[in-house]
Amino acid sequence: MTHQMSEGMRACIEDCFKCHSVCLGTATAHCLEMGGKHVEPDHFRLMLACAEICQTSANMMLIGTELHRRTCGICAEVCEACARSCEHVGGIQECVEACRHCAESCRRMAA
């Protein structure tokens, strides 16, 4: 991170890595152990896709091109979709909240 980086961007990078960590960690620990609807293909793929785009969204901000607006925009959408899917599965509220928070943060950076 750099001195020139805005507080908003700094916070958004942290929110992205937090959401990446919660999605990847919840999917591979909690969801795989629970089985059933927790490993329903579309839900599980969405959790992995959310972890992936959050990581890249953070990296695009760190690399420092204007293109981060575009990746933050997609990241916000994927996080919203993942939050809805996690809500539907139930019992993974930490994931719902990390996704919602990251979506909000990314929407601000995308604007």
Contact between 96 and its own copies by CB under 8 A: the answer reads no
Binding its own copies (rule: CB under 8 A), the pick from 12, 15, 19, 60 is 60
Query: DSSP 3-state assignment of 71?
Result: helix
Residues 6+ apart with CB under 8 A from 33: none
The structure tokens listed for 39 are 């490993």
In the DSSP assignment, the letter for residue 4 is: T
Residues that bind its own copies (CB under 8 A): 1-2, 4-5, 13, 17, 21-22, 24-26, 28-30, 32-33, 35, 39, 41-42, 44-46, 48-49, 52-53, 55-56, 58-60, 62-65, 67, 70-71, 74, 77-78, 81, 94
